Amino acid sequence: MTAMSPRPPSRRPTRPPRLAAVAAVLALALLASGCTTGPPGEISVGDLAEAKTFPYFRVYWVGPSFQARPLAAVDGLRNYVPSVGDGVYYGDCVKKKGIFGGGSCALPLQVITVLYHLHSNKALGPQRNTVVRGVPATVYDGGRSIEIYTGRVAVDIFADTYAHAIAAAQSIHPVNAPGSGAQLPSPVYCPGLYGPTDAAVEAKMDSLPGLACQKARGTTAFSRAVSGD
């Protein structure tokens, strides 16, 4: 089941492939009718099975409910958009997934998992870099949105309040993989954080597998030297 239209996204000015595809999806959504405000009904066993058997990467959720709000919808394989990700939605209305949460009907929570592609977080606006569950993360959109970097993916949490967003961040676990722990798996890439980073964030970035951030900094320095920037 697919959610309905969010606020138009603004991610980063260079519009890499993921963002270009998101923009196209959201432009079509904005031409359609507004947010569906009626109850979505109980999620079907088949829809939930699609999420539990999603084959491409770990899809994160917080379980069958979130603070007494039911699981309203899942994307699963049928509604998977590679450039945007695969999502789960909690609450009493459903809207189209995108880079930012929001829109005319407020979900208390939606969680989108997407394969990470290197980008800068500059266009997210005011933000704070931190460590959540042992991995780097960025808090933005007035605290209502958190992007968590883990494994091969980024997990985007969109909520109506910071309290809901951080509560979800502390409890996400894969719907399609067994087991979960207090710590999330470290990302195998170097996240494109923007803005100040404190000692805890710096230490975490420098300890990522394969020296990912050290290698990324070396590549950037070499490119600048070659281009003369």
pTM across the whole model: 0.76
Secondary structure element (H or E) that encloses residue 216, with its range: helix 212-227
Render pLDDT for 210-219 as a digit per residue (tens, 0 to 9): 999 998 777 6
Average pLDDT over residues 162-166: 95
> What is the SS3 assignment for 54?
coil
**Helix and strand tally (H, E) in the chain?**
5, 10
Q: Are 107 and 91 in contact (CB under 8 A)?
A: yes
pLDDT band at 104 (very low <50, low <70, confident <90, very high): very low
Bigger pLDDT: 31 or 101? Answer: 101
